[in-house]
Amino acid sequence: MVREIIIGKEGNQPFQITDARVSRKHAQITIDENGDMMLEDLQSTNGTFILLKNGNYKRITQQKLTKGMTVRFGPELEFKVSDLINRYLSKEGNAPAAAEYDITPLKYLEENYNREKVIVEQKLASNGMFRMAVFSLGGIMATITGFVLTDPRYKIVAPLVTLLVAGLGFLVLIRQSNKLIRRRNMCDSNFKRNFVCPHCHMSFVGKMYANIRLVGKCPNCKSKFSGEF
């Protein structure tokens, strides 16, 4: 029987990993029928390493393992291969607990996202109105001052100054609007990244929390969901 041990915050290694610098699925150890072991990095953020005889670490993508070796996941989490394997094998046979996740955080994520979205949209709308106002008022004021003032010097200077001030105001509003658009995009991508199944990471974007919770399990990986309604 071939065994696959996934090391990571969401791996099936025989203990929990909470080190944030270890990826969710960081590395995999495969043990084949003959007991040969292969370590493979699963494109982890902070790398998988083996300890060399000279005391240095070497980052690896794939590496044949022997029980005497020492491996490191990320900057700190280190194991002797024999310990890791023995702990895994001694845990085998214990039926794994059915995966159940409290998905209440998704509820707050959805609430915050909707609230933030409304605020940003409102600000964008009023920014657009201000821009229109500055644009029209600037034009009108420049025309009026040009007509009304009789002194030829002011007749030229006053409309120019008016246009300049209006132009600056317009630029400030454009910058603000760009900032708001960036904020909206960040808000969107943050939501897309996090509004997912806590187990298999399938996206729930387009679904409503209330419905997901009502169904009570992931349509993809069938993990059970608990949490607030």
Residues engaged in binding Zn ion (CB under 5 A): 197, 199-200, 218, 220-221
Closest separation between CB of residue 14 and Zn ion, Å? Answer: 23
172 three-state secondary structure: helix
Q: Which CB sits closer to Zn ion, 6 or 200?
A: 200
CB closer to Zn ion out of 118 and 221: 221
Nearest CA among 39, 41, 139 for reference residue 81: 39
CB of 112 to Zn ion, least distance (A): 22
Report the residue number, 143 or 220, with the smaller CB distance to Zn ion: 220
**Closest to 4 measured CA to CA, from 31, 42, 35, 41:** 31
Chain centre distance of CA 147: 57
CA 4 remoteness from chain centre: 28
**What interhelical angle do 104-148 and 152-194 show, nearest 10?**
170
Show the DSSP H helices in 98-149 as ranges.
104-148
Shortest reach from residue 16's CB to Zn ion, in Å: 19
Complex with Zn ion: residue 14 or 198, whichever CB lies closer: 198
CB of 93 to Zn ion, least distance (A): 26
Minimum separation from the CB atom of position 65 to Zn ion (A): 30
Total residue length of the chain: 229
Kindly tell me which of 41 and 110 has the beta carbon lying closer to Zn ion: 110
Looking at beta carbons only, is 75 or 216 nearer to Zn ion? 216
Which residues fall within 8 angstroms of residue 205, CB to CB, at 6 or more apart? 191, 192, 195
Instruction: Collapse the DSSP code of 134 into the 3-class scheme (helix H, G, I; strand E, B; otherwise coil) and give the result.
Output: helix
d(CA 110, CA 188): 11
Please name the residues in contact with 3: beta carbons below 8 A apart, sequence gap of 6 or more: 30, 31, 88, 92
Compute the least distance from the CB of residue 223 to Zn ion, in Å.
Answer: 5
